[in-house]
Amino acid sequence: MRVKRGADVASDHHLLLGIIKVKLRASQDRTCTPHYKYNIQNLKRKETAEVYSCSVNNRYSALEFVGEDVDSHWTALKCTWQKSCDEVLGNRRKSQKEWLSAETWNLITQRKQLKVEISSCTEQAKKSNLTSRYWQLNKDVRKSAKKDKKTFFDRLTTEAESAAGQ
């Protein structure tokens, strides 16, 4: 940046001269990618994993007549996997954190409702009372979440230790 003090611009401000460098980011083509993810957690269950592998094998065996072109073979394989995932696994839903207990989720919903009440309240005295209740509830949520996370990791470590011992 440079200041040009001698420029006559009929103002009490000085004229500034600067150089701006702009870098363009590459945009990604998202037409080929699905707008959702598959629920691969279902593959942990043995029955679902067997059904999925059977479905993929059946669809893959039907692809033997596909031409020798690599692109057509790839698109056929991709469609096979996508159809099998749609059919067997389904779409992944946005899930809650697995380490939070139901009690903590109840506290979180209470805190959200209290926040809505605070934003809609017009009386200052009532608003300050609600705010103090909100901060107390916020402390309770933090304590409960910390306790839940500790118990979750303790359970994970005991499972890992027992698996390593076997």
Q: Is the pLDDT of residue 22 over 80?
A: yes
pLDDT tens digits, one per residue of 71-80: 887 888 888 8
Q: Are residues 123 and 161 in the same domain?
A: yes
In the chain, the number of structural domains is 2
pLDDT tens digits, one per residue of 84-120: 888 888 887 766 677 888 899 899 999 999 999 998 9
Domain presence at residue 148: yes
- The 3-state secondary structure of the chain, one letter per residue: CEEECCCCCCCCCCEEECCCCCCCCCCCCCCCCCCCCECHHHHHCHHHHHHHHHHHHHHHHHHHHCCCCHHHHHHHHHHHHHHHHHHHHCECCCCCCCCCCHHHHHHHHHHHHHHHHHHHCCCHHHHHHHHHHHHHHHHHHHHHHHHHHHHHHHHHHHHHHHHHHC
Domain presence at residue 27: no
Q: Are residues 72 and 121 in the same domain?
A: no
Q: Are residues 77 and 122 in the same domain?
A: no
Binned at pLDDT 50, 70 and 90, residue 3 comes out as: confident
Cβ atoms within 10 Å, residue 53: 13
What size, in residues, is the chain? 166
Query: Which pLDDT score is estimated for 39?
Result: 80
Query: Which pLDDT score is estimated for 112?
Result: 92
Partnered with residue 15 across adjacent β-strands are 4
Query: Which pLDDT score is estimated for 33?
Result: 65
Domain presence at residue 23: no
Of 34, 46, 112, give the one whose Cα is nearest residue 78.
Answer: 34
Average pLDDT value for the chain:
84
- Domain of 70, in residue numbers: 40-89
pLDDT tens digits, one per residue of 53-68: 898 888 878 777 656 7
Q: Are residues 60 and 111 in the same domain?
A: no
Report the percentage of the chain scoring pLDDT > 90.
31
Query: Which pLDDT score is estimated for 74?
Result: 82
In angstroms, the Cα distances linking 46 to 37, 49, 125 are 21, 5, 58
Q: Are residues 62 and 107 in the same domain?
A: no
pTM: 0.45
pLDDT tens digits, one per residue of 131-148: 999 999 999 999 999 999
Please state the rounded mean pLDDT for residues 154-165.
90
Domain presence at residue 3: no
